[in-house]
């Protein structure tokens, strides 16, 4: 069954939609790597990997920033909220959408965790999902 999701930045100038053939097309994961920590300003990043063609901006144009490790993030030039990110390999195939920017994120709950070796000591494991020591692919 197809899933239509919508999301926006804090000030709502950037709006986007996601059209998935099924919820399984999205892969939501936590990532405990240092790059995600820094970008999200928290102890982990939380994104949903979706096919590029399922993701579309409905309003506004994002600003972009490419960091040294090759990860590009798209964000709102007004409020600064990140909307999505992608590495060089994924650039023409996938978007990693910032989970908290979705209106109904619970429709695509986490399936796994990456870079668990960097997990903050007080952060428990998410039960019943996969756990990888490193690599985010």
Binding residues (CB under 5 A) for Zn ion: these are 9, 11, 13, 31, 33, 36, 76, 78-79
For residue 5, which phi and psi values (nearest 5 degrees)? -125, 150
Choice between 53 and 59, CB closer to Zn ion: 59
- How far apart are CB 36 and Zn ion at their closest, in Å? 3
User: Tokens for 10?
Assistant: 């804090």
Least Å from the CB of residue 81 to Zn ion: 5
- The Cα–Cα gap between 46 and 35 comes to 12
- Beta carbons within 8 Å of 101's beta carbon, 6+ residues apart: 7, 8, 9, 81, 82, 83
Closer residue to Zn ion (CB): 21 or 56? 56
The number of residues in the chain equals 137
Query: What per-residue string of b and e applies to 70-94 under the rule 16 or more CB within 10 Å gives b?
Result: ebebbbbeeeebbbbbbbeebeeeb
Instruction: Please identify, using beta-carbon distances, which residue of 3 and 118 lies nearer to Zn ion.
Output: 118
Q: Shortest approach of Zn ion to residue 122 CB, angstroms?
A: 19
- Minimum Å distance from CB 53 to Zn ion? 24
Q: Which is nearer to Zn ion, 44 or 55 (CB)?
A: 44
């Amino acid at each position: 069954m197809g899933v239509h999701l919508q999301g926006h930045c804090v000030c709502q100038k950037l709006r986007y939609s996601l059209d998935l053939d099924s919820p399984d097309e999205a892969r939501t994961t936590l990532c405990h790597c240092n790059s995600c920590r820094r970008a999200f300003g928290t102890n982990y990043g939380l994104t949903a990997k979706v096919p590029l063609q399922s993701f579309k901006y409905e309003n506004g144009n994002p600003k972009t920033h490419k960091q040294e490790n090759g990860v590009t993030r798209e964000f709102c030039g007004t409020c600064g909220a990140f909307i999505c990110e992608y590495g060089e390999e994924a650039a023409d195939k996938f978007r990693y959408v910032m989970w908290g920017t979705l209106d109904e994120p619970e429709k695509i709950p986490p399936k796994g965790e990456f870079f668990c070796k960097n997990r903050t000591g007080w952060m428990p494991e998410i039960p019943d999902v996969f756990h990888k020591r490193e690599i985010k692919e």
